[in-house]
Amino acid sequence: MTQVKIGVVGCSGRMGQTLIGAILDQEKAMLSGGTERHDSPHMGQAIRHPVTGIDTGLMVSADAEALFKNSHVVIDFTCPTATVLHTHYAAKHGTIHIAGTTGMTAEDEKALWAAAEKVAVVYAANFSLGVNLLFYLTRKAASMLDEDFDIEILEMHHRHKVDAPSGTALSLGQQAAKGRSVDLDQVADRGRDGITGERRRGDIGFATLRGGNVAGEHTVSFNADDERIELSHKAGDRAIFARGAVKAALWATTQDAGLYNMFDVLGLPGE
């Protein structure tokens, strides 16, 4: 395989355009197409490099199944409903599926597991190398610091983000919970308003900020009496997520069927 044919569903949004640029800039990959919803104003428009404006000779389509059929890999940063549908196309056509959609429920994720029985699926809340290192460090720190250290997770994103807390923040919470050997659902505190009472020992708290065009900022703080440890990552541009997704796409072409994450792609110690 000289070049990996990579398609993008949801190709006209901010992340979709960034993904197209990352694919076109990667010499080992070629863009196989891009899709949008049938009612998108971008339907039928030429797909161009988002920076150089070079015409790829491809047009925005509404036929996601055809894209899966004609691609080695499809990258999917859309919405849970669409991603679940796309998993069926991936399994049907043997197409590698790179899923970066956030807000997926446990029921939604079952579709990814089902597709992974037939094809490689890489599913991650965040495709940045730095963020995945932050996941690892958060779990490690939580395993070493007992409940005398209160864990709080703060995230900020652009004003257009529709889900909260972010998928990355929730994944950080999962890593902290794993480090403590507890169930996140039992210790998560995702909203404080009014007279909330004293903070429960062992809880993992979440706080959300929205505004401007912030690509993504996450901080995990471990707070004990008289000292605080903070682990932070700040994304300057969503291009870091696109580059990570393309890296995952190329990596997955050498893997057997299965459900993978960015720890696998980057060779970090397993979750």
Residues 97 and 12 in one domain: yes
CATH number at residue 220: 3.30.360.10
Residue ranges making up the domain that contains 164: 129-235
Question: Mind listing the pLDDT tens digit for each residue in 167-226?
Answer: 899 999 999 999 999 999 999 999 889 999 999 999 999 999 999 999 899 999 999 999
Contacts 24+ apart (CB under 8 A), 173-177: 173/204, 173/206, 175/135, 175/136, 175/138, 175/139, 175/142, 175/271, 176/138, 176/139, 176/142, 176/151, 176/204, 176/220, 177/142, 177/204
**One domain for residues 187 and 156:** yes
Chain segment 17-62, per-residue pLDDT in tens = 999 999 999 999 999 999 999 999 999 999 999 999 999 999 999 9
Task: Say whether both 112 and 20 belong to one domain.
Answer: yes
Query: What is the distance between the alpha carbons of residues 194 and 25, in angstroms, rounded to a whole number?
Result: 50
Examine the domain organization and report whether 97 and 197 are in the same domain: no
Active site residues: 157, 161
* Under 8 Å between Cβ of 233 and 146: no
Give this prediction's pTM.
0.82
Task: Say whether both 92 and 150 belong to one domain.
Answer: no
Looking up residue 243, the CATH number of its domain turns out to be: 3.40.50.720
Classify residue 201: in a domain, yes or no.
yes
172 and 84 in a single domain? The answer is no
Residue 271 inside a domain? The answer is no
Instruction: Give the number of domains in the chain.
Output: 2
